Structure 1
Amino acid sequence: MTGPHLDPRTARRRFVTACALFWLPLGLSIAPLILLFTERGLAPAAVAGLLAVHSLTAAALELPTGGLSDVLGRRAVLAVAGALNLAALILLALGTAPWLLGLGMALMGAGRALSSGPAEAWYVDTVHADSGPDAELRTGLARASAATSAALAAGTLLGGALPWLLGRGPDLGARLDRATSGLVLPLSTPLLWGAAVEVAFVLYVLAALREPPRPAAGLRQVLGGVPATVAGGLRLGGSDVIVRRILLSAAAAGGALATMELLTPGRAAGLTGAPESGAVLFAALACAGFVCSALGSHLAPPLARRAGSGERAVMLSLGASAAGLLLLGATAASTDAVHVVLAAAGYGLVYLGLGAAGPSENDILHRRVASAGRATALSVQSLALQLAAALLGLVIGFLPRGPLPWLPWLPGGAVLLAGALLWRGRGAARVPPAVADAGAATPAG
């Protein structure tokens, strides 16, 4: 490696820090984003369309950018992801025209695609270089997942509180609106703070995530190496039954997350009666959800041990998430205090289960692919999540909500339950030598 050799503990600490810095700005945007679109005058179907732009852009770029990371290196691709998110947050905070907001969501989707594999692939490569291919990974993956959830929780809480605080001050929100001719609303400020954090993320990645020098890759090598790496990732997903279950489980999680992102902000605003106070309530809920996700990630290693295998742990975790989402649907028609409490419990259960499933799924995945195609395999996984999120989000955006308030929640719960049932009766998966060899043979450019 360039510079001093990194031991697994140092690599884990840097991986965790990079994850926290990457997701904190996105956490700042979670609470205000949907409500900001509404304040800009967009209808629910248009909001669903913007979210679909994000998901479809990420899906379209997942495999090419994963291959790019395997060819050019993890650090450079991750830094570009941060730069794209920086531009996206500025556009979303300041944009008033639908096409500008669409461009911002597309850039954020591109950043999401670029970021889906490099940091984790860097960590696994670094640990394997020090301790060999049998090194224990689940603890590092769980801590990074917990740090991601904690950053999202803190960012969401701050992102919901900032607009509310501006609204509580002596005409601060109105003065801000007048001073910028409506360009910066109180709901825009968390996104601008997130843009500042993105600058710190890019600088940290360039300074801390050292990796072995790769052969200089010109345009011809990149254009030739990326498609070959992508083809290897697709072959692995098509030929390995365990990887296929991981991809379908990721799709189920994507459908669940799309349901939560689309329906919860409006439900929160309906309970409070105003967008700013709705953002505060949603921020508190989302913060609690991400804390539950962090707890689930922390519990993933002992849960896998108690369940007897990572596969059984995934089944139990996704089943718990499905139960939480169906509980949200069952209480959608009522504002009675008991049902509101049950809905909050269901919300937390969704994130607890997803947080517990992720580290076990990725531990299984990393034992079935080698370094040459690791970022691509992670991109295939993220592709499944993004495609499912986009498709189910579009369906939910057009489902009626008045007469049947539970109906939009049903598809997400159904796909999560199907994802859990994929792992029913599956024992611990061993890595066949042929699979490991195939992964190792995936072209790197």
Structure 2
Amino acid sequence: MTATRPLLDPAAARRRYVRVCVLFWLPLGLTIAPLVLLLTQRGLGLAAVAGLTAVHSLTAAALELPTGGLSDVLGRRAVLAAAGLLNLAALTLLALGTTPWPLALGMALMGAGRALSSGPAEAWYVDTVQVHGGPGADLRTGLARGSSATSAALAAGTLLGGALPWLLRLGPDLGAATSGRVLPLSVPLLLGAAVYVAFVLHALTALPEPPRPPATLRGVLRGVPGTVLDGLRLGGRDAVVRRVLLSAAAAGGALAALELLTPGRAAALTGASESGAVLFAGLACAGFVCAGLGSHLAPLTARVAGSGERAVLLALGAGACGLLLLGAAPTATGRFSVLLAATGYGLVYLGLGAAGPNQNDALHHRVSGAVRATALSVQSLALQLAGALAGLAVGLLPPGRLPWLLGGAALLSAALLWCRRAGHLAPPDVSSPAEAVRPGVRTDAGEGQRLL
């Protein structure tokens, strides 16, 4: 792909953005069901597995902002390809590694790939659409479809990653045939690595972007810290960006409570750990489906609510109600209890799915391309750090309804942040990095774009 090739029209950009989302997240969905079981089958105890998970999380958090700045300096396509290569190597190491050090390296590489991927694809889509339609171009539809595609890919990957090892156990003994190197639980990860080959090729050949000034190593090293600082200042400069970041933090806390408490609730409902694990796998898939449905309905939610801000308010409020339902539901195995808990679980993901595209639409109308990927990285960092802190808090709280209620209260507080309208704003001057954020700019309704 040469730098002189014209950029895509919005419809074509939307289709390729959706494909990028599917190709990146499908392999990660393939790991959800088998990864922990594979690590324990390799001889690691639960404490060691938790340590490997911490390696992933800390690596992603440490690299979140620097890699967002790298995307804004080097370009979206190169960073996306690098993310795919890192995840390809990570899944290969995790699938074939038999000792702790290769497995730890695999988790670190996966964390680095996660950090690299948190902004460039969405930033590429927004950049491309705004070249054709200007700063006020419609973004919500494409963002909603990308988010729906992500959820669908995760749901499909979860089902396939859980079913494939079970099916392979009915055939020849892979472990014996490969001297223990390849186990049935390894196969979904190897399949994911193969998908990442297609992802890298797609990123390099199908995502044209405007030419950037030639970047030297010195220029990159000099440009990234400044872009990172711009990203850190975003929340302080603009009230709407601050709402987006605080909402992301609240979502991280809510998801941490949900993911830590749901497995125990599932086991309590079914009466056994094994059947609880099966129920949790089904719930995880259903959660992704609900999130995808919520994302698909995000534009309709904004139209019905009257604005993107009201849509975020309603969506986060629905998610908060879901957590409160989970806290209020009895832990008995009765039909009513199961129905109440399942309804609450679905509401959380449905609400977060509907809120995401509307929040990001607001974010992209407040920041320019100079710091767009960095802004998305700050948003991801807020979610991850809040999730880590909330996870620690949930672990320290006594079991019962309190952790659920606190998660619901956090999400409800985030919803209330969107009660106040932001008014109309003039889009930022995307040609000037110095004008990355222009807080408080308002225009007449006929001239400017309302924040959605």
- In 2, the alpha carbon distance for the partners of 1:208 and 1:227 equals 29
Alignment partner, residue 161 of structure 1: 163
Which has the larger share of helix? Answer: 1
- In 2, the alpha carbon distance for the partners of 1:50 and 1:410 equals 30
- Of the three residues 312, 315, 318, the one matched with 2:316 is 318
- In 2, the alpha carbon distance for the partners of 1:367 and 1:44 equals 45
Q: Structure 1 residue 55 and structure 2 residue 28: aligned? A: no
Post-superposition Cα deviations, 1:24-53, rounded to whole Å, max 9, x if no partner, equal: 111111222344445455565554444333
Q: Is the 8 A contact 1:159 1:283 kept in 2?
A: no
- Of the three residues 411, 435, 442, the one matched with 1:416 is 411
Q: Structure 1 residue 300 and structure 2 residue 298: aligned? A: yes
- Paired positions, count: 434
Q: Is the 8 A contact 1:392 1:411 kept in 2?
A: no
Code of the aligned partner of 2:235: G
Alignment partner, residue 24 of structure 1: 26
Code of the aligned partner of 1:237: G
Secondary structure of the residue that 2:201 maps to in structure 1? helix
Secondary structure of the residue that 1:422 maps to in structure 2? helix
Post-superposition Cα deviations, 1:110-154, rounded to whole Å, max 9, x if no partner, equal: 111111111111111111111211111111111111111111111
- In 2, the alpha carbon distance for the partners of 1:380 and 1:161 equals 36
Code of the aligned partner of 2:420: R
- Of the three residues 376, 379, 399, the one matched with 1:378 is 376
Q: Which stretch of the first structure deviates more once superposed, 245-254 or 302-311?
A: 302-311
- In 2, the alpha carbon distance for the partners of 1:165 and 1:278 equals 20
Secondary structure of the residue that 2:165 maps to in structure 1? helix
Secondary structure of the residue that 2:297 maps to in structure 1? helix
Q: Quote how far apart the aligned CAs of 1:427 are.
A: 1.6
Matches within 5 A, 1:324-343: 324-331=322-329, 333-343=331-341
Matches within 5 A, 1:143-154: 143-154=145-156
- In 2, the alpha carbon distance for the partners of 1:322 and 1:40 equals 39
- Of the three residues 411, 427, 436, the one matched with 2:421 is 427
Alignment partner, residue 96 of structure 2: 94
- In 2, the alpha carbon distance for the partners of 1:372 and 1:33 equals 37
Q: Quote how far apart the aligned CAs of 1:4 are.
A: 3.9
Q: Quote how far apart the aligned CAs of 1:303 are.
A: 1.0
Q: Which stretch of the first structure deviates more once superposed, 188-197 or 280-289?
A: 280-289
**Structure 2 length normalisation: TM-score?**
0.87
Q: Quote how far apart the aligned CAs of 1:198 are.
A: 1.0
- Structure 1 runs of 4+ aligned residues shifted over 6 Å read 433-438
**Structure 1 length normalisation: TM-score?**
0.89
Code of the aligned partner of 2:280: F
Q: Which stretch of the first structure deviates more once superposed, 221-230 or 313-322?
A: 313-322
* Structure ranking higher on relative contact order (CA contacts 8 Å, 6+ apart): 1
Check 1:209–1:156 CA distance in 2 against 1; reply closer, same or farther (3 A cut). same
- Of the three residues 13, 16, 37, the one matched with 1:14 is 16
Q: Quote how far apart the aligned CAs of 1:398 are.
A: 5.4
- In 2, the alpha carbon distance for the partners of 1:47 and 1:395 equals 20
In structure 2, list runs of 5 or more residues that go unmatched.
Answer: 438-452
Code of the aligned partner of 2:390: L
Matches within 5 A, 1:13-412: 13-40=15-42, 46-167=48-169, 169=170, 172=172, 175-265=173-263, 268=266, 271=270, 273=272, 280-331=278-329, 333-397=331-395, 404-406=399-401, 408-412=403-407
Q: Is the 8 A contact 2:370 2:430 kept in 1?
A: no
- In 2, the alpha carbon distance for the partners of 1:281 and 1:192 equals 25
- In 2, the alpha carbon distance for the partners of 1:357 and 1:228 equals 30
In structure 1, list runs of 5 or more residues that go unmatched.
Answer: none
